[in-house]
Structure formats: C-alpha cells, structure tokens
Chains A and B, each alone.
Chain A
C-alpha cells in the first residue's frame, strides 16, 4: 500500500562532539502538502534538513522517503534551496542551471527544455547568458529557485525562500509554491516568516532545543494555544461596562473607537463561560460584535518556544 506520508522520521538522533543537535525526533510529512518547519535559530532545523538531504548521516533513527528507507537513489527526488543563497558567481545563468540539473540526474536536453519553460514563466528569458554576478539579488534568487525545482522533485525543501524578495517577486514565488503543491509536490518550508506559514502551510512542526515540541495542522496548532480570550465591540458607557465586568474576567485591552463605541479584549478566568459574561453586561451596554480570539502562528511560536 502506498505510503500516505512522503517523509517519515522516527527516533532520530544526531550529536556533534557531545552537543545534541537532534534528540528523538519523530516527524511525518504528508504527501502534496506544504509543511512548515519552524523553530528558533540553532534549534536543529538545518541539521534535520541536511539529514533529509543526505548531507549528514544520523547517529541513529530512521528516515523513510515515500515508504522506503532513505537512500542515494532518492536524491533525484529532492530539491533543496538553502537559506544562504549561492551560485557560482562567474558562471553563466544557463550553464549553471543545466549543470545543477544534470547533478540531479536530468539529461542536458531535458534540462534545457525545462529551463526554457521556467525562464519564460518567471520572466527570466534574457538572463541565459548573463553571469550570476551581473544579476540583482532578487534575480539571482529567482534563478536559484528555478534550479531547485527544475528536476520536478517529489519533495521540495525551501529554507527561507522569500527572504530578500520584493513584494511582487515574493508573491510570484508564493504562487509558484502553491502551484507546485497543486502538481503534487510535497514542500517543506523552513522559515521565520510566520505570515507566510499562516498563508500557505497546511501543517507545521516546531522544533526547539533539538526536540520537536509540537506538530499538527495550522488550525490545530492555533487551537492548542487557544486561550479563553474574546474581543467585544459594544455601544455604551465605558464605566458601565467596567462595572459590569467583575471578578470572573479580566480586561486585557480597551479602546475607544468613536464617541459611543468601544472595543475590549477580555480573558475569562476560572470556570466562567462567555454566556455568563454576556449575561453580566447585556443590561448595561449594547453588544455589537463578539469573537473568540484565535492566536496567530507567531503567538503560538513564541508561546511554544518560550514556555509561556
């Protein structure tokens, strides 16, 4: 039976001269999904990526690729865009892209055809004979993105793919990532840009101090850190509102929107419910809008990694 997951990691350990870089990592990455790999600097993300790329070997533990133990034959099915971008500065764009594609197992002819397709798609047709050093940073980044996806990898590992791109190019690459997902590519996105995680990732895992501290769907992660906090918009006197709010809840923020309208963020304490809260205020102010506050991924990340 074909595996549901493209990558399955079990009990993975890796140390460098006594320092534990990865400790007992279990991770599964579903096929055709965008998976966010999150974690503070030095948490072990790069080590994990290097193990999947077979640049490093784990001390023990297993990595499975599409149900098989990861081996050299899987190299051709992985595309990797490292965080620190780099290409041979003196080499011409076309030559370099073909060279990198050949290293990933494409023939020269195939590489040329696919390159023409991608260059046209990303508006880079005129760059073929330019040297990398003559391109702007954003242009070079686009070239590198192309060289990463050229061989149609099953798994694409993108380490900060959007950093340094202007909003237009950033959007362009984001759309390409989504389109690749539609074409059944599984994508691992390692990034500190939580907005893009929220926008495009289906799932994410957070690694901290060499260990995986959580994994799940984006919504699932948010719910995990869901607090009993609400935002409420009301018409009426602020004094009447505060007087009505007694012991069971605390006001976190309060803002006057206009003459008669206010917005407040409250947190329910103990076993109190929102119904009790509404009952308490409903005779004093007119409720315009009330919402359960969902944490952003950024908030989830900070809470998870700082043990708040």
Chain B
C-alpha cells in the first residue's frame, strides 16, 4: 500500500472502529424513522378508536353511513331530542364525539352537519367524518335519483390538486418536497461540520503530539493533509451509506409492523367493507406514501454525496489549516466563526429558496461554493427541471465547488505547512497572512 493509502486507511479505520461511530450509525436512522413516525402519529390523531354518537334526524343515514372499528358509530335513541342526546353524550365517558345530522341535510345543500367534542379531534378525524357523511349523502342521492351505481362510480371522482410545472410534468408538489430538501440540507450541514471539525481535531492531535514530525519526515505535508481529509471524508460517506441503508431496511421491516393499516394502502382498502369505491384520505398514510413514492431518492442520494463531498473538501481544507495554526482546540474559536457563518446563513435562507426556488437569490446561493451544498440540495429535492433547478445549474454549481476547493486546499496547504511546525506562538490572522505571503 502506498504511504498515502496507509494514512487514509489509518484515519478511516481508527474512526469507524470508535464506539461513538457505531452508536451514531444506528442512532441516526432510529432518529430519522422515529421522526417520520412521530409526524405520522401526530397527524393521524392520538386515539386508536373513536366512539361516535350519531343523531340522525332524517333517519336516512343508518344504513348508508359507513361504520368501522376505528370510527365506531352508535345511533342515538330516536325518541330523545337533540338536547337530551347532548346531555347523554356529556354524561357517558365512553363517548368521544357527537355527530349531529339535521333533518334536511341529506336533501339540501344548505345545511351543515355538526360534530361536538370533549377533546378536539384531529384534522384527520374531521376529514374522515366529513368524508363518510358526504359519501352517505351521495349514495342516498344516487339511489333516490335511480342512478345506476356503476354509472355513479364512473362519474365519482376524488380530485387531488397537483401543482405541476407547465414545462415539466414530473415537477409536482415541489413545495412539499422542499421539506425533504430542508432535511437533507440539515444533514449536509451537519455532515460537513462534524467531519471537517474531525479533520481539524485530528490535525491538532498530531500537532500537539509532535507525531506529525515523524509522519512528515515520511510523506509531504500536502500528502498528509489530503490523506487525512480523504480518510475522514470516507468515514462521512460510510456513515451516510449506513444511515440510508439502515433507514431503508427499517422502513421496510419495522414501519409496517408498527402501523400496518396506515402503511399499506392495500390493507386499508380491504377493511373498507361498505364501499370500496371511495378511498378515504388517511393523512398519515399520505405522508408516508409521499415520502416513499414521490421523492426522487436515487438523485437526492447521489447529489447529497456529491455536494457533501464538495462542501466537505472546501471546508475541511480550511479546518485543517486552522488546526495547524493553533496549539490547542480552545484557540480555534476566532477562526471557526467566519467559516460557520456562510453555512448558517445558507440554512436560514433555505426557507426563502423554497418560496421561490427559481429566484435569483436561490440561483446565487446555490452557485456560490460556500453556500451551494446546503441550498442546491433543497432545490434538487424540489425537482430537477425548469421550475426548481436546471441540470446546467447543478453542473455549474459542482464545477464552481470543485474550483473553490482546489483553491482553498492550495491556500490551506500553505498555512498547514507553516503552522504544523510552529509551536508555542499564538496564531493570529496577521501571522497567517505572513505565512501565506512567504
């Protein structure tokens, strides 16, 4: 193995063997899956089962209003008035909701149904209730007007409004996709930051140890710096690959067991015994389906790796220079701030980019190398094509990133070479400028 290969493999192996690396490899995906589950859980309401008392003044709903185990309907005694039923509802702790269907609801379009609650139901529950009431009214009207049920089925539509780019139909629901982009830009930020700081720490360790003198008597300072950056970068990619694979495996194995009826659209359709023609929207299901089917994962993962590497090389070279310039980690603060500002600024601007992914602000932030890894991934998540980001913009951004990291690496190696052998002198900006000039 060449010496550079040797250093890369030492940097890599010592890090992936660490307990913290192994722990994070499994904790990361757990957090991701946990986050998705939590979102699904929060949007689906908290209860497993709802006991719903129905006051049906027209007595026309009882055979057509869809009943299910989860949303279990009970019919209020017909001899009791609405106000008496309300009292009954208040007293009976088992009842969760009271649905009031006024007498003319089924025949006119002017009446409204009411849902009285003790604890406010989630939007998912509300959607379900209005869904089954609408469905019942429609079924009643179908039979009242003597319309053939199959004709009705063929007329009946459930419209989802997809917001689509006129020139590229693949670009739909881009704002929703942007949230995935934001999550990815957070990951890119975290990965760049965590791993470039690891490079810096490694350099400081070698410098304070003085082992660096032994190593640079075998390889050049530039080779050592690059080998360290590459070794740590590979650790980052390994971490990311483990995260995506474990998350993927968990999504396929654990997720369906935790929420089987929500996860698999087919199982829900089967349980709908009464009218299988109308699938009701389960919001949690919608989120999961969106995450699983609508996001272009292969592209997103590919560009994540490319932009992570670009950003990481850009920043880690500078971090290595900082590590070489100081004697201990406590001295790094003054140099770290100017490096973190562009990244934090990019994260803050991500919201603006989602609002208008093709604005000039979005364009520049995704082309300027210090912010591009974080912003470009948001735009890519929103869809590659005219409305969000064009292919040439991605290529240009990557190209600029490569040019920038070659430049910063050259700059850093000058600082690194001088700094790594200078001990006891407190590094300052003026000292560093002197090193760069010499």
Interface centre among A17, A83, A85 (most CB of B within 10 A): A17
Instruction: Give the Cβ gap from A163 to chain B, nearest Cβ, in Å.
Output: 13
Interface stretch (choices B187-195, B202-210, B292-300, B370-378): B202-210
A86 and B210 form a contact (CB under 8 A):
yes
Q: Given A55-B217, A86-B210, verify A91-B14 contact (CB < 8 Å).
A: yes
B217 and A78 form a contact (CB under 8 A):
yes
Q: Report which of B3, B205, B434 forms a contact with A88, defined as CB distance below 8 A.
A: B205
Write out the residue numbers on chain A whose beta carbons fall within 8 Å of the beta carbon of B438. Answer: 16-17
A80 and B14 form a contact (CB under 8 A):
no
Q: Is A102 an interface residue (CB 8 A)?
A: yes
Whose C-beta in chain B lies nearest to the C-beta of A108?
Answer: B1
Whose C-beta in chain B lies nearest to the C-beta of A84?
Answer: B210
Write out the residue numbers on chain B whose beta carbons fall within 8 Å of the beta carbon of A90. Answer: 14
A99 and B10 form a contact (CB under 8 A):
yes
A53 and B434 form a contact (CB under 8 A):
no
B218 and A104 form a contact (CB under 8 A):
yes
Whose C-beta in chain B lies nearest to the C-beta of A52?
Answer: B217
Q: Report which of A17, A50, A75, A86 forms a contact with B421, defined as CB distance below 8 A.
A: A50
Q: Is B216 an interface residue (CB 8 A)?
A: yes
Instruction: Give the Cβ gap from B261 to chain A, nearest Cβ, in Å.
Output: 49
Q: Interface 1/0s, chain B 185-227, versus A by CB < 8 A?
A: 0000000000000000000010011110111111100000000
Q: Is B6 an interface residue (CB 8 A)?
A: yes
B213 and A82 form a contact (CB under 8 A):
yes
Interface residues on chain B, number (Cβ under 8 Å) = 21
Write out the residue numbers on chain B whose beta carbons fall within 8 Å of the beta carbon of A88. Answer: 14, 205, 209, 211
Q: Is A226 an interface residue (CB 8 A)?
A: no
A129 to B338, CA, bound (A): 42
Write out the residue numbers on chain A whose beta carbons fall within 8 Å of the beta carbon of B6. Answer: 99, 102-103
Instruction: Give the Cβ gap from A53 to chain B, nearest Cβ, in Å.
Output: 4
Write out the residue numbers on chain B whose beta carbons fall within 8 Å of the beta carbon of A78. Answer: 217
Write out the residue numbers on chain B whose beta carbons fall within 8 Å of the beta carbon of A75. Answer: 217-218
Q: Given A17-B434, A88-B205, verify A103-B219 contact (CB < 8 Å).
A: yes
Instruction: Give the Cβ gap from A55 to chain B, nearest Cβ, in Å.
Output: 5
Instruction: Give the Cβ gap from A271 to chain B, nearest Cβ, in Å.
Output: 51
Whose C-beta in chain A lies nearest to the C-beta of B7?
Answer: A103
Which residues 88-112 in A have Cβ within 8 Å of B in the complex? 88-91, 99-100, 102-104
A178 to B219, CA, bound (A): 29
Q: Is A87 an interface residue (CB 8 A)?
A: yes
Chain A contact patch, size range: 20 to 34
A100 and B1 form a contact (CB under 8 A):
no
Q: Report which of B7, B214, B421 forms a contact with A80, defined as CB distance below 8 A.
A: B214
Q: Given A17-B434, A55-B421, A88-B205, verify A103-B215 contact (CB < 8 Å).
A: yes
A307 to B226, CA, bound (A): 47
Write out the residue numbers on chain B whose beta carbons fall within 8 Å of the beta carbon of A55. Answer: 213, 216-217, 421
A87 and B209 form a contact (CB under 8 A):
yes
A75 to B217, CA, bound (A): 7
Write out the residue numbers on chain A whose beta carbons fall within 8 Å of the beta carbon of B1. Answer: 102
Write out the residue numbers on chain A whose beta carbons fall within 8 Å of the beta carbon of B10. Answer: 99
A80 to B210, CA, bound (A): 12
Q: Is A54 an interface residue (CB 8 A)?
A: yes
B210 and A85 form a contact (CB under 8 A):
yes
A103 to B215, CA, bound (A): 7
Which residues 55-72 in A have Cβ within 8 Å of B in the complex? 55-56
Instruction: Give the Cβ gap from A150 to chain B, nearest Cβ, in Å.
Output: 12
Instruction: Give the Cβ gap from B114 to chain A, nearest Cβ, in Å.
Output: 67
A84 to B207, CA, bound (A): 11
Q: Interface 1/0s, chain A 181-204, versus B by CB < 8 A?
A: 000000000000000000000000
Instruction: Give the Cβ gap from B378 to chain A, nearest Cβ, in Å.
Output: 38
Write out the residue numbers on chain B whose beta carbons fall within 8 Å of the beta carbon of A104. Answer: 218
Instruction: Give the Cβ gap from B66 to chain A, nearest Cβ, in Å.
Output: 63
Whose C-beta in chain B lies nearest to the C-beta of A49?
Answer: B213
Write out the residue numbers on chain A whose beta carbons fall within 8 Å of the beta carbon of B3. Answer: 102-103
Instruction: Give the Cβ gap from B222 to chain A, nearest Cβ, in Å.
Output: 13
A91 to B215, CA, bound (A): 15
Write out the residue numbers on chain B whose beta carbons fall within 8 Å of the beta carbon of A99. Answer: 6, 10
Write out the residue numbers on chain B whose beta carbons fall within 8 Å of the beta carbon of A86. Answer: 208-211
Instruction: Give the Cβ gap from B224 to chain A, nearest Cβ, in Å.
Output: 10
A82 and B421 form a contact (CB under 8 A):
no
Write out the residue numbers on chain A whose beta carbons fall within 8 Å of the beta carbon of B205. Answer: 88-89
Q: Report which of A16, A17, A91, A100 forms a contact with B214, defined as CB distance below 8 A.
A: A100
Interface residues of A (CB under 8 A from B): 16-17, 50, 53-56, 75, 78, 80, 82-91, 99-100, 102-104, 147
Name 17 extra pairs, CB < 8 A, besides A78-B217, A86-B208. Answer: A17-B434, A54-B217, A55-B216, A55-B421, A56-B421, A82-B214, A83-B210, A86-B211, A88-B14, A88-B205, A88-B211, A90-B14, A102-B6, A103-B3, A103-B6, A103-B219, A104-B218
28 contacts between A and B (CB under 8 A): A16-B438, A17-B434, A50-B213, A50-B421, A53-B213, A54-B217, A55-B217, A55-B421, A56-B421, A75-B217, A75-B218, A80-B213, A80-B214, A80-B217, A82-B213, A82-B214, A83-B210, A85-B210, A86-B208, A87-B211, A89-B209, A90-B14, A91-B14, A102-B1, A103-B6, A103-B218, A103-B219, A147-B214
- Going nearest first, the 5 A-B pairs with the smallest beta carbon separation are A86-B209, A84-B210, A53-B217, A86-B210, A103-B218
